[in-house]
Amino acid sequence: MTDTTIDLDVAEVERRLLARWPETRIAPSLERIRAVTDALGRPQRSYRSIHITGTNGKTSTARMVEAILLELGSTVGRFTSPHLTDIRERISIGGGLIPPDAFVRAYLDVLPAADAVDRGSATPLSFFEMTVAMAYQAFSTAGIDVAAVEVGMGGMWDATNVIDAEVAAILPIGLDHVDHLGPTRLDIAAEKAGIIKPGAFAVTARQTPEVEQLLRAHADAHLARLMVEGRDFGLRGRRASGGGQVISVDGLAGHYPEIPLSLHGRHQAYNAVVAIASVEALLEDAIPLDVLRRALGSARSPGRLEVLPGTPAVVLDAAHNPDGARALAAGLADLGHRPTVAVVAAMGDKDLAGMLAELEPVVTTMICTRNSSPRSLSAQDTGAAARAVLGSDRVVEIGHLGHALLEAVRTASALSEEGGAQVLVTGSVVTVGEARGLLGL
């Protein structure tokens, strides 16, 4: 019996995918993924697409794009990474996780082509390349109208970039993955500009002047139209509300007042602005106001300034670089100033000192721990970095994430008796995903 006919389940497929090169191991080439998608008949060309890059906010923006398109009546596929708790989160069809049987089918559809590429290449297909191919194949099989696709890392050499998106959305570009993308914002911007295709529409968030100039030069060289936040579209106003915020937006094609957005934080308002402009660019028309209000009023982005009700409240945020931590700190102000007990577990290849400097003003006590990833810093290493920023009296080290959560809840509960407190879990997508599991989500 061949490998393509045996019975598999999601867990076995995930085990096989994880046996490949991990997401953090990069070989900058589109040769392998292109060979696979060519063998599959180029499924990514059977639907329209919006391709999303940037340093932070990609997943939330993709989810908002998806929500708007679904409300417009389109059949939508969404590819995002990494996942929090279930590998199927990476591939959404029709607004929900890809069904288990469709996930397995996508793997089996891709496997023969992947095996052929592996046999002919010194570099085997990675975990990420396989999941991209599976997503594109699953979207084609489902007959979707539009895909919202999040870049994994960078843009030019990212496996998702075999898609010829009509719209390239570029969120703010900061410093992250510098070992792969380069040491400066301009280096990173050059990689991310690679998703702008000839003749396409490019929508960018506000960037530094140098980065905007680079993006414009790339767009001009490819006869693409570049639209810039702050000049061609933008956020007119916002106010925090109990369920998130209310925003008013000047879009590319229309003005949208008083839109409820069920996500917290000023950064999510700006992500929503890019999502709106991206959909307008795809439609080449305005979005009906009632559609936009329904879509963004019910949008969800788990693990991104996600507030779990209870006493004490628990806030989950996957910030893993200084820009993300800065947005998180500002977002906490929307929730009201209160004592905050932070549980932090970060990866060893991140700018932990930069993250801690951004969080210091909003954290009362920091509990330093680790997650299950072999890339995770130890509680002791994180604690040493935290003491250098916060001082010894505000830092606790606990080596197990579950025990750290329990201690954070206990500490915040004691502080709540004095007027309210909250628990914050941050530092990594892995940390937040594991915390969600421990909290029963």
* CATH architecture type of domain 306-438: Alpha-Beta Complex (3.90)
Token match 């989950």: residue? 316
Judged by DSSP in three states, 384 sits in helix
d(CA 146, CA 179): 33
Q: Which pLDDT belongs to residue 183?
A: 62
| Residue 18: exposure state from Cβ atoms within 10 A (0-12, 13-18, ≥19) | exposed
Q: Which pLDDT belongs to residue 2?
A: 39
d(CA 359, CA 50): 33
Q: Which pLDDT belongs to residue 184?
A: 82
- Phi/psi at 233 (5° precision): -160, 165
Residues 6 or more apart whose Cβ sits within 8 Å of residue 132: 33, 79, 152, 159, 160, 162
Q: Which pLDDT belongs to residue 230?
A: 95
The segments of the chain whose pLDDT lies below 70 read: 1-6, 23-26, 175-183, 416-419
Please give the C-alpha separations between residue 241 and each of 269, 307, 384, 420, 422, in angstroms, as whole numbers. Answer: 12, 13, 37, 19, 18
Contact 191, 156 (CB under 8 A): yes
Q: Pairing mode, if any, of strands 146-150 and 48-53?
A: parallel
Q: Which pLDDT belongs to residue 19?
A: 92
DSSP E strand boundaries for 112-261? 146-150, 167-170, 201-204, 225-228, 234-241, 244-250, 255-261
d(CA 83, CA 130): 15
Q: What is the DSSP-derived secondary structure letter of residue 345?
A: -
Q: What is the DSSP-derived secondary structure letter of residue 99?
A: P
Q: Count H helices, E strands: the chain?
A: 15, 17
- CATH class of the region 10-297: alpha beta
Q: What are the beta bridge partners of residue 91?
A: 79
Domain boundaries, given as residue ranges, for the chain: 10-297, 306-438
Q: What is the DSSP string of 264-310?
A: -SHHHHHHHHHHHHHHHHHHTSPPPHHHHHHHHHS---TTSSEEE-S
Q: Which pLDDT belongs to residue 5?
A: 44
Q: Which pLDDT belongs to residue 6?
A: 57
Q: Which pLDDT belongs to residue 179?
A: 52
Q: Which pLDDT belongs to residue 9?
A: 96
Q: Which pLDDT belongs to residue 175?
A: 58
